[in-house]
Amino acid sequence: MQLTTDPGVFPPSPPPSTTDPTVIAAHDWAAFAAVQKMTNHWDRPGWTEHTRAYYWMLTLPEDAPLVGHMQQCQHALASLRFDDIAADGLHLTLGRIGLVEDVTAGHLDRLAAAAQGRAPERFTLRAIPLAASRGAIRYSVAPWTPLINLHQMLGAVGAESGLPFRKPSALLRPHIGLAYANRPLPADQVRAALRPLRDLDTVGVPFQQLHLVELRREGRAYRWRTVHSVNLTPAQGNSPLHGQPA
């Protein structure tokens, strides 16, 4: 599918390639190079300590290789005094389903069953150090293609279930965060701290399951309860999932 440009997402424009890790990482960094000031990630209208919402997420176990890599980066960035993501909090957000008060358990059951019936093959991403958005430090990820395919499937089953995504797949900008900005500060300061970490190796991140979670905020951290898990399909031979551009 064709990704589109929108000033409401970051980066506003999609990368020239959704499969090439070098192109994706360079595009993310160039987008962050245009940011002049970091903003407070937690200053988000509509979110309070009482807000609960359902999301589709890819999550990582605490023993995933990326966790140690993330903690190494967080230690190197400690002088920024950002809010680090915990070892059990690593995730890649795919889309919001709805507020808890607007969605019934029956809705969720049907949604998860439909997603399981159309589950794509398992895949592995590369987490690429390191870039940032206006409000967070994050890994670039590649390739985007399996994530776009997954997002399109979830968007389709959501629409059929009366729970459409708020944002279309054309605006997907996948990433994995590792620290949230908790105050405004010059972005140049963040770029200077990130540059040495951009020489670190990439890390493979395999995904075998997708999770429907109930998300909440606890202080300056996101926490969740898994409501449903969807098993991705074991790969059979050479899959076109990684190699075909979106």
pLDDT in tens, 101-153: 999 999 999 999 999 999 999 999 999 999 999 999 999 999 999 999 999 99
Collect all residues with Cβ–Cβ distance below 8 Å to 93 and sequence separation of at least 6. 55, 56, 57
pLDDT in tens, 54-97: 999 999 999 999 999 999 999 999 999 999 999 999 999 999 99
Mean pLDDT of the chain: 94
Predicted pLDDT of residue 49: 86
3-state secondary structure of 163: coil
Predicted pLDDT of residue 196: 97
Burial 167-195 (b: 16+ CB within 10 A, else e): bbbbbbbbbbbbbbbbeebebeebbebbe
With CA atoms as reference, report the closest residue to 57 among 123, 127, 180, 150.
150
Q: Give the integer Cα–Cα distance in Å for 70 and 207.
A: 17
For domain 34-231, give its CATH number from 3.90.1140.10, 1.10.8.60, 3.30.70.420, 3.30.2130.30: 3.90.1140.10
8 Å CB contact between 15 and 27: yes
Q: Which two tokens mark 107? A: 């809705």
Helix ranges (H only) for the chain are 21-33, 65-76, 105-117, 145-160, 187-194
In the sheet where 176-180 sits, what is the strand order? 83-84, 176-180, 136-142, 123-132, 203-207
Question: What's the pTM?
Answer: 0.92
* Segments making up each domain of the chain, as ranges: 34-231
